[in-house]
């Protein structure tokens, strides 16, 4: 299980997600022409009406306000939006839960093969209802929990290469419809399940061509437009569907 010390990467990530103006996690992060980013509300507070510009608090370079749109017209910082999503998911990684201030809250699970036990949990996804899905890597399965760690009967997988079976499940993501996508390190594919663990379909096979993977590991997420990003680890590339 994770320990308090394992929250150090989260602290580093939080530093990258902290607005230099309000010192809170970014809200609607926008990027100025100098490439420094701040919350939209913070930028609005910096605007000077006579010159219709914003002086960056970091480098003091002036950026003109977009016509008619104000601070809302500045470019969104999509990498910060995605990092915030990763940050929220990492707080649940390996069964450890942190408070908003990154102090330890609780943990759940222990080493084993039974219900609610893990052998190498490697990734986590949270659906729109707050339910938690964990890829249990060495048990070749996905387990499902409530937000407070209560094990739910629904689990899916089992070692193998047939439909609905998993072999070293690694990355996991949930789409807007509630379907669960699981990348399989040893099966070189992505399998899709309903939230109750019913197998839907899989795609991909071993290789380096289009629609092929070679040992995809942790790293899979949906963006706001529904595109799926998959780390095709041993092909040294990122693929998008």
Are 151 and 51 in a shared domain?
A: no
Are 84 and 118 in a shared domain?
A: no
Domain carrying residue 157: 112-240
Q: Where a domain ends, among 62, 94, 126? A: 94
Q: What's the CATH number where 179 sits?
A: 2.120.10.30
Are 74 and 147 in a shared domain?
A: no
Alpha-carbon distance of 82 to 74, in angstroms, equals 18
Q: Has residue 69 been placed in a domain?
A: yes
Q: Has residue 233 been placed in a domain?
A: yes
What pLDDT, on a 0 to 100 scale, did the predictor assign at position 5? Answer: 39
Instruction: Tell me the CB-side half-sphere exposure of residue 211, using CA atoms within 13 A.
Output: 2
As given in the structure block, the two tokens for residue 75 are: 């470019």
Q: Has residue 4 been placed in a domain?
A: no
- Supply the mean pLDDT for the chain: 84
Q: Has residue 3 been placed in a domain?
A: no
Q: Has residue 86 been placed in a domain?
A: yes
Are 123 and 31 in a shared domain?
A: no
| Range 16-40 average pLDDT | 86
Q: Answer yes or no: is pLDDT of 4 > 70.
A: no
Q: Answer yes or no: is pLDDT of 88 > 50.
A: yes
User: How many domains is the chain built from?
Assistant: 2
Q: Where a domain ends, among 42, 63, 94? A: 94
Are 192 and 117 in a shared domain?
A: yes
Are 81 and 159 in a shared domain?
A: no
- Least Cα distance to 199 among 180, 186, 185, 226 occurs for 180
pLDDT bin (cut points 50, 70, 90) of residue 89 is low
Are 162 and 220 in a shared domain?
A: yes
**Contact between 232 and 214 (Cβ < 8 Å):** yes
Q: Has residue 118 been placed in a domain?
A: yes
Q: Where a domain ends, among 44, 65, 94? A: 94
Q: Has residue 16 been placed in a domain?
A: yes
Q: What is the dihedral of CA 11, 3, 82, 217, to 10 degrees?
A: 140
Q: Has residue 40 been placed in a domain?
A: yes
| Range 22-38 average pLDDT | 86
Are 116 and 89 in a shared domain?
A: no
Are 204 and 175 in a shared domain?
A: yes
Q: Answer yes or no: is pLDDT of 83 > 70.
A: yes
Alpha-carbon distance of 83 to 168, in angstroms, equals 25
Which pLDDT tens digit goes with each residue over 92-106?
444 566 566 656 667
Are 160 and 233 in a shared domain?
A: yes
Are 155 and 235 in a shared domain?
A: yes
Find the length of the chain: 241
Which pLDDT tens digit goes with each residue over 94-153?
456 656 665 666 778 888 899 999 988 888 999 999 999 999 999 999 999 998 888 997
Are 61 and 137 in a shared domain?
A: no
Q: What's the CATH number where 20 sits?
A: 3.30.40.10
């Amino acid at each position: 299980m994770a320990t308090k010390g394992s929250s150090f990467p989260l602290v580093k990530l939080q530093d990258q997600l902290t607005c230099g103006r309000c010192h809170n996690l970014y809200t609607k992060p926008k990027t100025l022409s100098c490439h420094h980013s701040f919350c939209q509300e913070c930028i609005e507070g910096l605007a000077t009406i006579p010159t219709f510009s914003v002086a960056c608090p970091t480098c003091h370079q002036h950026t003109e306000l977009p016509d008619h749109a104000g601070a809302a017209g500045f470019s969104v910082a999509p990498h910060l939006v995605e990092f915030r999503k990763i940050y929220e998911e990492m707080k649940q990684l390996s069964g450890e839960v942190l408070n908003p201030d990154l102090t330890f809250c609780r943990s759940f699970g222990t080493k084993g093969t039974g219900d609610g036990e893990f052998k190498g949990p490697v990734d986590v996804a949270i659906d729109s209802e707050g339910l938690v899905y964990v890829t249990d890597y060495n048990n070749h399965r996905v387990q499902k929990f409530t937000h407070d760690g209560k094990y739910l009967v629904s689990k899916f997988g089992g070692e193998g290469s047939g439909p609905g079976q998993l072999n070293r499940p690694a990355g996991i993501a949930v789409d807007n419809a509630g379907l669960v996508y699981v990348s399989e390190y040893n099966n070189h594919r992505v399998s899709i399940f309903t939230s109750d663990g019913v197998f839907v379909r899989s795609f991909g096979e071993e290789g380096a061509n289009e629609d092929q993977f070679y040992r995809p590991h942790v790293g899979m997420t949906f963006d706001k437009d529904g595109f799926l990003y998959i780390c095709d680890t041993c092909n040294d590339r990122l693929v998008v569907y």
